[in-house]
Structure formats: C-alpha cells, structure tokens
Amino acid sequence: MDLRVRQELERLGLELDRPELLQVTIEFGPQGQPIPLGEEVQVMDESWTTAHVRLAPITQLWTTAEVSPFLLRTVPQHESFMVLLQSTALIYCTSMGQPETDAEFERIYRKLRRYPDAEDHHPLFSYLQGAARLYLSLRDVSRTEYEALTRRLGNLAERFCSHTGSTNYHRQVLHSVAGT
C-alpha cells in the first residue's frame, strides 16, 4: 500500500472504500490513439471526481506478508482487484470500438504476471498495469497474491478462447463484470 497515494486521493475527494469502482481513465493522443500511461495517471471514481496521481511500480507496492495462493481459490480476498482490472479492460475495448481477442488478453495478463513493471507495444497493457498499481496503492497485496490473481485472469481468458480471433472473454466475462 502507498499511504501517500491514498491520502492524496482522499484529499482530492475520491471515494476509496470500493476500489473496484475506481477507474484509470483512457487518454488519447491527437490522432485518436490511446496514449500508454506513465508514472502519473488520472483516476476517476463513480461520482466522476477525477485526480492525477503518481503511482509507484508494481514491484515496489507488494507487501511482505505472504498468503498461500490456494487460499485465493476458496476465499477471494481481493475480488475487487479482479473487477477493477476487468472493468478497465472493458472500458478500454469500448473506447477503442472493438474487443481484443482472447489470446491477446491471455498474453497481456501473462506478461502482467511475469513482468509487472515492463512495457508492452499494446497500450491496453499499460492501462491494466495502471489499474493494478492503483489497487496495490490502496490495499495490501503480497507478491504471491498478485501473481495468483493475475494468473486467474490469464487462465480465465485462455479458458474462453475457442478459436483464433475469438472474443468470448470480452463478450461473456467482461460484460458480466460490468452488469451489461
């Protein structure tokens, strides 16, 4: 957790009790293409209150307390992490006017798990990374928990992949998270 970020967002009036209702906003360049996020991101809550905040890299936000990944299968302590990342993915795809393929989601989630502070050619990676950085700034999450959660996301995308180019994960999972 990053108390500096938490205090800054509270000071600016954002509601932090339910991090799954927060969003890292998608920013576009002059040609209408999404701009990958940097250290500073714009965060918005459900009342449309926005704030710019500087977020640390994921590897600097992990706590030292380890929780067995097996506990995550029975008691999802960080379900709001899953919802925040999936809603970010849905908002990104909606703003781009097309869903990403199941295979691309699986690749991005796998990279987010293995190389959490890396860069990627796909801007969606930086927005999912930004959402993860935001959540980890607000809640205590160990490296083991983080890896188990991102593994679950990747496995879910892989499980819905039925053929090359399929978008089942987007259609069946992301839309159910948003309640649409």
Domains in the chain: boundaries: 3-178
Which tens digit of pLDDT belongs to each residue from 92-143?
999 999 999 999 999 999 999 999 999 999 999 999 999 999 999 999 999 9
Picking from 62, 65, 76, the residue whose alpha carbon sits closest to that of residue 153 is 76
Confidence of residue 76 (pLDDT cuts 50, 70, 90): low
Confidence of residue 171 (pLDDT cuts 50, 70, 90): confident
Specify whether the CB–CB gap between 55 and 134 falls below 8 A.
yes
pTM: 0.90
Confidence of residue 65 (pLDDT cuts 50, 70, 90): low
Residue 179 pLDDT more than 60? Answer: no
Specify whether the CB–CB gap between 157 and 109 falls below 8 A.
yes
- Give 3-state DSSP helix, strand, coil % of the chain, rounded to 5: 55, 10, 35
Residues above pLDDT 90, as percent of the chain: 67
